[in-house]
Structure 1
Amino acid sequence: MTDPTPLTDAVRALARASRIVERASDGLSFADYRVLAAISTGEERASRLADRLAVGKPAISATVDSLARRGLILRGAVEGDARGTSLALSEEGAELFARMEARMTRQLELLAARTDDPAGVVRSLAALGDAVEQAVQERRQKADA
């Protein structure tokens, strides 16, 4: 068996860190978090969530159904689209999301503080997030072409 490369080490670290951060999420999964985060930033159409989050529509439907049953999101009609559904955070959902994100942020801050360059780690992860968003947008553009 070969020794892991720095890139393999990074993947493994990201996987382990994501689990630590997820444990601080008030009992919600990362899937729940991703949907709540997308809705909180203005993605209100259920049909666009799967695309934005790069997951299948059945997975998004199940997560949206679960969050709605728990009263964390509200569904509404989309004017001019009989089949469309708009989504918004309920008051309880917004409060839980804010609390959850604060706890997760704190966990990441504590992990980053254990490195030689905490600010650099945070900047790198933010840049990785930007790269993910760019890749998703490019994939959407290719699919639309």
Structure 2
Amino acid sequence: MADQTSLIRAVRALARASRVVERASDGLSFADYRVLAAISSGEERASRLANRLAVGKPAISATVDSLHKRGLILRNAVEGDARATSLAISEEGAELFARMEGRMARQLELLADRTGDPAGVIASLASLGDAVEQAMQERERRVDA
């Protein structure tokens, strides 16, 4: 296990890097990005988004409302459930999301290029992302149980 000083440095670096990458996001927040990413990956229900992203339903509702008002996502009625809506990314939302992801990826690449091992940094972050996804899936299973 890493020493406490290294862990703190890593946490601070991750926080700073996330802000640098977020600035390349075409004016959308990371919360917007996370919701668009989840919807584009097939998540259709706000309640499932809240569980997957580990945020409260009010926060998801506010983000979904904002994205819908901007025309970036669509809400559709769910047959057989009058209270539920399914979410889909709109054509405009898909275009913005693709552009946003490309700009954010380029910013991350520029940051990684400043390290001694750019490919290793990107591989480590991708591996960290896999670990986060695994942890979130485990959390979802506990919540659903």
Give the TM-score taking structure 1 as reference length: 0.95
Q: Partner residue of 2:110?
A: 110
Q: Partner residue of 1:71?
A: 71
Q: Partner residue of 1:47?
A: 47
- The 3-state SS of whatever aligns with 1:5 is helix
Q: CA deviation at 1:81?
A: 1.8
Structure 1 consecutive aligned stretches of length 4 or more whose deviation exceeds 4 Å: none
RMSD: 0.9
Q: CA–CA distance in 2 between the matches of 1:79 and 1:127?
A: 38
Q: CA deviation at 1:80?
A: 2.1
Q: CA–CA distance in 1 between the matches of 2:17 and 2:92?
A: 27
Is 1:98 aligned to residue 86 of structure 2?
Answer: no
Is 1:5 aligned to residue 15 of structure 2?
Answer: no
Question: Which amino acid is 1:82 matched to?
Answer: A
Q: Partner residue of 1:131?
A: 131
Give the TM-score taking structure 2 as reference length: 0.95
What percent identity do the matched residue pairs reach?
83
- The 3-state SS of whatever aligns with 1:16 is helix
Question: Which amino acid is 1:118 matched to?
Answer: P
Count of paired positions: 142
Is 1:61 aligned to residue 52 of structure 2?
Answer: no
Whether the 8 Å CA contact 1:74–1:90 is kept in 2: the answer is yes
Q: Which runs of 5+ in 2 are unaligned?
A: none
Question: Which amino acid is 1:90 matched to?
Answer: S
